[in-house]
Amino acid sequence: MQIDIPAHIEKLLFLHDALVIPGFGGFTATRTPASTDYVGGTVNPPAKTLAFSENLTIDDGLLTADIADAHGLSTEDAGRALEEFVEKMRNLLDQREIVTLPGIGRLYKNYVQKIQFLPDATNFNAASYGLPPLQFSPIARAREVEQTPTPAPPSPLVPPPMPPPPMPEPTYAPERSGGGSNTGTALGIFLLLAALTAGIWYWQHRKKAAELEQNPDANIAKTEQSNKDEKSKTGTPLTEDPAVAPVEDPEKAAQESLEAKEKEAREKVNLARNGRECILIIASLSDKNNAEKLRKLLTDEEYQEYYQQAGKKHIVGIRFFYLKPAEIEEKKKELMTLTGVTYIAVKKK
């Protein structure tokens, strides 16, 4: 006997707010009141939307009893028919197939082997079933124009009022638009001043190094004279050490300082353009094959993947740069829609 079990499920969802398919999962219904779409100009009737959960596996007896009553079967025969239907659905889901329940929705498995449910547009609220959305349009009201009363003619006995003294025109500075151009100009001026300062400092060190090479004796005499002056001022005896301490290469020091300033400037420019780095963790999987499938999906969608192996766990996520914290929430919503994962952790921001 051919039993249309999806038809029984659809009928019972109109009568109950929860229905369990034994050994597979259960549907729960949420009632929503009437809503108004002011953009589309429609009023939607009250509805009852469905959600699926794999954790609802305890048989409530509704589906088995309905099949037995409708087809004149015993409870055991109805239970066996229901078990065959569940086994067939699980085989299709394990083969990465989509199971369609007519009038209810579609079931499939995501990359972490969790069953996902996409409901159809069926309204399971029996009180408002079949009611179409109501179209409406705003009422146009004509604006009443107030008529300005005609002033009375001046009386010859009453002198006309004196006009008020002229007020000085306010002075103001016009606001300039284009905050982005001002930021770019300030950044360019900062980089120019940094390069100019580094160039002057490098030129001075090169000049001192050239003077040391041309007249080293004069420099030693100048150093000894400064030591004598210091001794005469403080009265502290200075050691007469003929050995001269090695002088650090000024050209090398200037080059290192210039490279450090250029590196700091590049980091500031990179931060202004790209923002801060953020890492989102999508899943921590023990199966390497599932981890590779998830990494391939992220690469195909042109995300910069993040992968780390910690023991037997394979941590998979993405990394990106952001300027505003709201961009992190947008990326999380995109990844939830793409992978079906309901929770995404933020590792770094």
Per-residue pLDDT tens for 292-328?
988 998 899 889 889 988 888 899 999 888 888 888 8
Residue 231 has pLDDT above 70, yes or no: no
Q: What is the per-residue pLDDT for 243?
A: 45
pLDDT at 46: 85
The H or E element containing residue 288 is helix 288-300
**Of 32-36, 68-72, 219-223, where does mean pLDDT reach its minimum?**
219-223
- pLDDT exceeds cutoff 60 at 218: no
Q: Which residues pair with 279 in a beta bridge?
A: 319, 348
Domain extent listing, the chain: 5-135, 274-348
For the domain 5-135, what is the CATH superfamily, name and number? IHF-like DNA-binding proteins (4.10.520.10)
Contact 238, 227 (CB under 8 A): yes
* pLDDT, averaged across the chain: 78
- Two tokens, residue 119: 């409901």
Across 20-24, 178-182, 303-307, least confident range: 178-182
Return the higher-pLDDT residue of 343 and 91: 91
Q: Bigger pLDDT: 113 or 37?
A: 113
Which residue do the tokens 């930021």 mark? Answer: 183
Q: Would you say residue 216 has pLDDT above 60? A: no
pLDDT higher than threshold 60 for residue 179? no
274-348 carries CATH number 3.30.70.1070: yes
What integer is the mean pLDDT of 213-231? Answer: 57
Is it the case that residue 236 has pLDDT exceeding 50?
A: no
Output the pTM of the full model. 0.38
At 117-156, the pLDDT tens digits run 999 888 787 777 667 777 777 676 666 656 666 666 665 5
pLDDT at 241: 46
Candidates 114, 168, 141; CA nearest to 341 is: 114
Spatial strand order in the sheet of 42-44:
35-37, 42-44, 134-135
What is the predicted pLDDT for the residue at 227?
56
Which positions ≥6 away from 169 have C-beta within 8 Å? Answer: none
